[in-house]
Amino acid sequence: MTPKKNQKHETHEIKIEEAEMPEMDEQPQVDVDALKRQLEDAENKLAESVEGWQRSQADFQNYKRRVERDNEMTFASMKGDIVKKILPVLDDLERALNNRPADDAWANGIELIARKFQNILDVEGIKRIEAQGAEFDPKFHEAISHEHNEDFESGQVIEVVQNGYMLGERVIRPALVRVAQ
């Protein structure tokens, strides 16, 4: 079988009536109010999402600061605990220096050791509480006696028996003092 060379192709014409075709000048009917409501709803949801995200970011920053502050406080507390254990050694050295015999060579070595201890405390931010002649303050001083003394007003520190120390605003050890009545 051989194909026929002059075959006619059937064409189907579709007639569209003019009434079915929209005119090109006419806009499709759209409910503008409904679209405005949808846009407003979408904007509100976006604003809520952004607000929630910002709140989460702020909460995270606050958490980070709180953790850093807690870590600093823990570190300072640990440092204070270690220093408390060393302070009696410094106290003993200071007592030895206050009672040293005249012209003893070993006293110069003891003085050097005491200065090195004090330098370490200074570098670590540990300050001695200055109490001599100051007004008694129970936050910084611990009274071991109340005595009558003509040279001091009532409530003034007469003598520091043992030095007190602070780390920043925190009292590591209060100063042991004698107070005038």
User: What are the pLDDT digits (tens) for 102-127?
Assistant: 777 788 888 899 999 999 999 999 99
Residue 166 lies in a domain: yes
Residue 167 lies in a domain: yes
User: What are the pLDDT digits (tens) for 135-158?
Assistant: 999 999 999 999 988 888 889 999
User: What are the pLDDT digits (tens) for 41-76?
Assistant: 999 999 999 999 999 999 999 999 999 999 999 998
Q: Which residues pair with 179 in a beta bridge?
A: 146, 157
The Cα 139–Cα 136 span in angstroms is: 9
Contacts of 107 by beta carbon, 8 Å cutoff, 6+ apart: 96, 97, 100, 101
pTM score over 0.75: no
Residue 165 lies in a domain: yes
Residue 37 lies in a domain: no
Residue 174 lies in a domain: yes
Domain count across the chain: 1
CATH code for position 148: 2.30.22.10
Q: Which residues pair with 165 in a beta bridge?
A: 128, 173
Residue 85 lies in a domain: no
- The strand pair at 170-173 and 141-147 is best described as unpaired
Range of the domain at 173: 127-181
**pLDDT value, residue 23:** 57
Residue 138 lies in a domain: yes
Residue 32 lies in a domain: no
Which tokens belong to 179?
């107070």
Over 60: is that where the pLDDT of 34 sits? yes
